[in-house]
Amino acid sequence: MAAKTIVVTGGAGFIGSNFVYYMLNKYPDYRIICVDCLTYAGNIHTLRKAKNNPNFRFAKINICDKPAIKALFEEEKPDIVVNFAAESHVDRSITGPEIFVETNVRGTQVLMEVCRELNIPRFHQVSTDEVYGDLPLDRPDLFFTEKTPLHASSPYSASKAGADMLVMAYCRTFNFPATISRCSNNYGPYHFPEKLIPLMIINALHDKPLPVYGDGKNVRDWLYVEDHCRAIDLIIHDGKIGQVYNVGGHNEMANIDIVKLICKELGKSEDLIEFVEDRKGHDRRYAIDPTFIHDELGWLPETKFEDGIKKTIKWYVDNEAWWQDILSGNYQKEED
Ligand code: NAD
Ligand code: DAU
């Protein structure tokens, strides 16, 4: 396969950084350019090892900054732009929605506009299963397919749905060469400790309360982050322009069961669990039907939840310096 230059926006965050490492490892002759403006969720220390690779470049740029994005793309002439950059936390979108519209909607539009002006051959939008809204708990036969109408519940998911609509509109109006993936909840290394799994692991390690929203019965469909990276790799190389691909591994778990499992793995008492006020508009259940990506691209998840969660807990135990830096705020000090 001919060597390519790939821009990865949001590559200092959770999934983007895993994707950077996945691609550098799998394609040693590809050039990987990470574009990230290092919000609170971006961590340049996560990319320390990547920075030693001569095929890697980090560019501190906001995706809404059109002149800076255009100058970078003119210089690097990417073959593919993969857009992970986003405000990603539902709770923050409830307390401060504006930045979600700015980054997730306008940022995506700026990237597409620059790609269009420079004739960049390929754009991939990393979206989410949350754009479909939620499913009831008493209908386990229902799943999200690519044909499920968009029905977002939170300002976060509405901003992601808005971006998806813009991508589809660019495809139709301008023949813009884009694909979209809508993935379920990821877990694994470098997950920012405001999200359920890393928060619970770190709190349990400190014997701190484990705050479970509402009745804890909300269901998420968990996928090990490397399986998501492999799906995007397949889509950007072999996917069909204008196509949406749902990505998920049929790994539905209630939040309370995950928290209990984390307690068990760490030898901590379930007495740490505290039921707290529910999230506003809290989606009940997400569940992806991944038949299409399996049939079209042969994608299947490789990591079973029982193995992935053990690997993830071990990663947090072994990489305490990474998350202690976040708790202390040191991670926002930049490196050379
Ligand atoms: P994250 O919050 O961990 O990382 C987001 C990254 O984007 C950070 O490095 C941040 O600095 C960067 N960023 C934010 N605003 C930016 C801007 N204006 N310009 C440049 N960089 C900016 O997010 P994540 O969990 O890794 O999610 C990545 C993408 O995947 C998002 O688009 C999200 O919607 C999507 N997604 C996430 C999940 C999940 O379970 N985490 C599942 C499906 C889809
Ligand atoms: O489904 C994909 C989405 O998954 C992504 O698009 C989002 O970017 C990502 O953040 C994630 O959204 P969730 O809202 O599902 O993830 P979060 O980890 O915030 O919460 C998971 C579930 O756990 C949810 O039902 C809320 C609950 N929860 C969360 C936290 C942080 C708790 O009960 N207690 C908590 O402290």
Render pLDDT for 49-76 as a digit per residue (tens, 0 to 9). Answer: 999 999 999 999 999 999 999 999 999 9
Reported as type and span, the H/E element at residue 247 is: strand 244-247
> How buried is residue 81: exposed, middle or buried, by Cβ count under 10 Å (0-12/13-18/19+)?
buried
In Å, what is the CA distance from 308 to each residue of 219, 228, 314? 18, 13, 10
Neighbouring C-beta atoms of residue 160, cutoff 10 Å: 29
CATH number of 5-188+224-251+280-303: 3.40.50.720
pLDDT of 118 reads 98
Q: Is the pLDDT of residue 101 over 80?
A: yes
**Average pLDDT of 26-43?**
98
**213-217 mean pLDDT:** 98
Residue of 85, 84, 83, 78 whose CA lies nearest to 119: 78
Atom of ligand 2 nearest to the CA of 282: 25
Which amino acid, 161?
A
pLDDT level of residue 336 (50, 70, 90 thresholds): low
pLDDT of the residue at 2:
85
User: Band of the pLDDT at 334, cuts 50, 70, 90?
Assistant: confident
Q: What angle do CA 174, 180, 182 make, to 5 degrees?
A: 155
Cα 5 to averaged position of ligand 2 atoms, centre (Å):
33
- Residue 24 in 3-state DSSP? helix
Coil vs helix vs strand at 224:
strand
Q: CA-to-CA distance for 328 and 254, rounded, in angstroms?
A: 31
Ligand closest to 130 (CA) is 2
pLDDT at 31: 98
Per residue in 105-118, is it b (16+ CB within 10 Å) or e — as a string?
bbbbbbbbbbbeee
Catalytically annotated residue among 21, 22, 30, 129: 129
Matching residue, tokens 């990987």? 32
pLDDT at 79 over 60: yes
* Pocket lining: 187 vs ligand 1, CB cutoff 6 Å: no
In tens, the pLDDT along 251-303 reads: 999 999 999 999 999 999 999 999 999 999 999 999 999 999 999 999 999 99
Instruction: Write the CA distances from 115 to 73, 179, 267, integer angstroms.
Output: 8, 14, 51
Average pLDDT, the chain: 97
Report which of 242, 230, 119, 141 is spatially closest to residue 183, judged by C-alpha positions. Answer: 230
- Give residue 148 CA to ligand 1 midpoint distance, Å: 23
Confidence class of residue 32 from pLDDT cuts 50, 70 and 90? Answer: very high
Annotation marks residue 156 as catalytic: yes
Nearest CA residue ID for atom 28, ligand 1: 84
pLDDT digits (tens, 9 = 90+) for 102-142: 999 999 999 999 999 999 999 999 999 999 999 999 999 99
**Judging by DSSP bridges, how do beta strands 5-9 and 80-83 pair with one another?**
parallel
**Which percentage of the chain shows pLDDT scores above 70?**
99
Please report which confidence band the pLDDT of residue 335 belongs to, taking 50, 70 and 90 as the band edges: low
Radius of gyration of the chain (CA): 19
Does residue 199 have its Cβ closer than 6 Å to ligand 2?
A: yes
Residues constituting the chain = 336
Cβ contacts of residue 295 below 8 Å, gap of 6+?
none
At residue 213, what are phi and psi to the nearest 5 degrees? -75, 140
**Tokens at residue 258, please?**
């995950």
Q: By percentage, how much of the chain surpasses pLDDT 90?
A: 98
Assess whether pLDDT exceeds 70 at residue 148: yes
